[in-house]
Structure 1
Amino acid sequence: MTESALLGKSLAELTDWVQDQGQPAYRGKQLHQWLYQKGARSLHEITVFPKQWRAALEDQPIGRSTIAHRSIAPDETRKYLLRLADGEMIETVGIPTAKRLTVCVSSQIGCPMACDFCATGKGGFTRNLEAYEIVDQVLTVAEDFERRVSHVVFMGMGEPLLNREAVVKAVKSLNQDVGIGQRCLTVSTVGIPKQIPLLAEEKLQITLAISLHASNQTLREQLIPSGGGYPLSDLIADCRKYVERTHRRVTFEYILLAGVNDTPDHAEELAQLLRGFQTHVNLIPYNPISEVDYQRPDKNRIEAFQSVLEDAKIAVSIRYSRGLEADAACGQLRVNQTQ
């Protein structure tokens, strides 16, 4: 890790930094522009800086990763294996449409949550990412697509609320420095005790997405090992308070696993759980991974589940994941250094 990396610092912090180097304050604005708008990867590239100063700062890290591997799915989704400054690897995904470019960022190297249906959790956990390592992912994808990033979702490797401070710092940097609206940023969590109220205190205008995947406590513990330490009733109570505090609705992600959590009874149970506050349910048909033999439900079963929620007046949509053929879809990310 490179604690002193310049990326992720605000204009005020960069201004303080250049002044500490004996440079005039206006150099902070120049540095900010070259980092976030021009995508500088070293101080040597910043030609508006005096040559002698650039030479003296040759070893000062900016905090950019390098692309170790890139794969492109038929739908133009791109998955990147990024090498960090310490040699560790993470995956990030760029998802383009005609009007949007969404980046799915990682917040940890690996993931300690070990959800049964997710490839990332099968590979264990190495460390948290620094805020600049999260911001870098967005800049890297923007460069590769030669397009402005419009949306960012914290749905890559890792559990964001186990790295809350760095994630909040990255959210603020993506908003204030990169220029992405907070309402275009989504933080997804399985649910970590005490963390949702702390996130609410930040009063961010982001979307909070809860990886729910179960309509009752027994089923949730089967799919999500950490579920036993954070009962569903407590999780939903914290979500209700989050809505009250932020006035932002909560999205619930629900991966449909054939014969496991996809019956009309499960849908009824889910509707009861979510009744009475601002929510939206994203139904995600399961994306296969090699380690387990879950199956994706057929279309009729998916639509029947959706209909039960709609009849109960729960806002719901079906999200078919992009990038499936490149193993870049929801639940498929892992660090595979043999690619």
Structure 2
Amino acid sequence: MNNILDLNLEELKEWMVSNGEKAFRAKQVFGWIYSNFIWDFDAMKNLSKNTKEKLKENFYVGIPRIVKKFKSKDDDTWKFLFKYPDGNIIESVVMKYKHGNSICVSTQVGCRMGCKFCASTIDGVIRDLTCGEILGQILAAQKEIEERISNIVLMGSGEPMDNFNNVLKFLKLVVADYTLNIGQRHITLSTCGIVPKIKELADENMQITLAISLHASNDAMRKNIMPIANKYSIKEVLDACKYYINKTNRRISFEYALVKGVNDSKESATELIGLLKPIMCHVNLIPVNEIKENDYEKSTCKNIHEFAELLKVSGIETTVRREMGSDINAACGQLRRDYISE
């Protein structure tokens, strides 16, 4: 039995024809799934009983089950814990903005990258999610909030570049007019910096936003925070970013989680300016999420402000991420760990 969400239109057309059906039936099926949120083949009214039976024998619509849902008291943020048929749990976050609804999706169950500030990586990676399992998070959340989701961030549990083939297929599926028709420029992919995959993504020449989890202003500091830095230096990561910019003409976003006493000094800001000044980029400063598994503390408001101002004065466009959903553990991996512990 296969998840029909893992198929693109051409693949489903081929299946239809090889099973004695007309190719156009594929688009009808996807219309029910993606436009009408009908996930039961028996409820697809313009299909014959015979076609429905064939579909049921071969496919299921892989929408994850919501096991817990939380709505923040402070803002328009929802956190979903989803369960897949094999029992694995992942989480997604929906954030409501003036410009539309954004969803932060997971790309793996767990993560193998080992970044010290992240809860989702503590127990390592269990498995990759398929493209259909990533898509299913959006469909489930959209039906639950009863509003269209127009922006996607691949920044939940997992490293997208560590699940490259499934993520790439997801990106191509989710922008298709027969699925969710989300514009490429409304999608952000966040990576800790797997250099060969950044270049491979650049060669696809998509118009998504690439976000690099940098979090340090020199290699020694980065190695202490992020194990991936032992494999790829900051220079190698930035060279790959320049390659991405040259290929796509898209600005890079750099994420920098400010940790008190670790990477939030004026010296670190000055060092960061030296690295990023020549690059077409934007810096997103993130007050670090405090988790019980480490002793990292959030930088003070004063330090955050001073750090941001130094970057802005130097000509680097900088924003400080608004903290959303802190009362529902909306930071990556926190809620999943709490649920599993229970």
1:246 alignment counterpart? 248
2:102 alignment counterpart? 102
**1:88-237 correspondence to structure 2 within 5 Å:** 88-176=88-176, 177-237=179-239
- Taking structure 1 as the reference length, what is the TM-score of the superposition? 0.95
Q: Secondary structure at the match of 2:235?
A: helix
Q: Secondary structure at the match of 2:66?
A: strand
Q: Secondary structure at the match of 1:150?
A: strand
CA distance in 1, matches of 2:104, 2:26: 29
Query: How much has 1:252 moved relative to structure 2?
Result: 0.2
2:289 alignment counterpart? 287
Query: How much has 1:277 moved relative to structure 2?
Result: 1.9
Aligned with 2:257 (options 252, 255, 259): 255
Q: State the percentage of identical aligned residues.
A: 37
1:16 alignment counterpart? 14
Asked if 1:337 is matched to 2:320, the reply is no
Query: How much has 1:315 moved relative to structure 2?
Result: 1.0
- Cα deviation, 1:69-106, whole Å, max 9, x if unaligned, reads 11121113111111112221111111112441101000
Query: How much has 1:14 moved relative to structure 2?
Result: 2.1
The residue type paired with residue 55 of structure 1 is: E
Aligned with 1:272 (options 256, 271, 274): 274
Q: Secondary structure at the match of 2:33?
A: helix
The residue type paired with residue 337 of structure 1 is: I
The residue type paired with residue 137 of structure 1 is: Q
2:27 alignment counterpart? 29
CA distance in 2, matches of 1:303, 1:290: 26
Tell which deviates more after alignment, 22-31 or 305-314: 22-31
Say if 1:32 and 1:17 are closer, same or farther in 2 by CA, change over 3 A: same
2:67 alignment counterpart? 68
1:86 alignment counterpart? 86
- Cα deviation, 1:130-168, whole Å, max 9, x if unaligned, reads 000011111111111111111000000000000111111
CA distance in 2, matches of 1:195, 1:32: 30
Gaps of 5+ in 1: none
CA distance in 2, matches of 1:275, 1:166: 34
1:47 alignment counterpart? 45
CA distance in 2, matches of 1:334, 1:256: 23
CA distance in 2, matches of 1:24, 1:191: 44
Tell which deviates more after alignment, 73-82 or 46-55: 46-55
Contact 1:321 1:329 (C-alpha < 8 Å) held by counterparts: no
Query: How much has 1:112 moved relative to structure 2?
Result: 0.3
The residue type paired with residue 250 of structure 1 is: I
The residue type paired with residue 90 of structure 1 is: I
Asked if 1:322 is matched to 2:324, the reply is yes
Gaps of 5+ in 2: none
CA distance in 2, matches of 1:240, 1:57: 46
Say if 1:333 and 1:242 are closer, same or farther in 2 by CA, change over 3 A: farther
Tell which deviates more after alignment, 85-94 or 265-274: 85-94
- Taking structure 2 as the reference length, what is the TM-score of the superposition? 0.94
CA distance in 1, matches of 2:175, 2:215: 30
The residue type paired with residue 205 of structure 2 is: K
CA distance in 1, matches of 2:211, 2:333: 15
CA distance in 1, matches of 2:288, 2:314: 23
Contact 2:142 2:149 (C-alpha < 8 Å) held by counterparts: yes
Contact 1:14 1:32 (C-alpha < 8 Å) held by counterparts: no
The residue type paired with residue 179 of structure 1 is: N
The residue type paired with residue 122 of structure 2 is: K
Tell which deviates more after alignment, 81-90 or 265-274: 81-90
Query: How much has 1:318 moved relative to structure 2?
Result: 0.6
2:298 alignment counterpart? 296
Contact 1:287 1:332 (C-alpha < 8 Å) held by counterparts: no
Contact 2:16 2:23 (C-alpha < 8 Å) held by counterparts: yes
Contact 1:117 1:331 (C-alpha < 8 Å) held by counterparts: no
CA distance in 2, matches of 1:319, 1:144: 26
Query: How much has 1:56 moved relative to structure 2?
Result: 4.4
Q: Secondary structure at the match of 1:289?
A: coil
Q: Pairwise CA RMSD of aligned residues? A: 1.5
CA distance in 2, matches of 1:100, 1:245: 29
Contact 1:119 1:333 (C-alpha < 8 Å) held by counterparts: no
Query: How much has 1:258 moved relative to structure 2?
Result: 0.8
Query: How much has 1:243 moved relative to structure 2?
Result: 0.6
Asked if 1:5 is matched to 2:3, the reply is yes
Q: Secondary structure at the match of 2:149?
A: coil
CA distance in 2, matches of 1:236, 1:73: 36
- Cα deviation, 1:37-69, whole Å, max 9, x if unaligned, reads 112323222122112332344342122211111
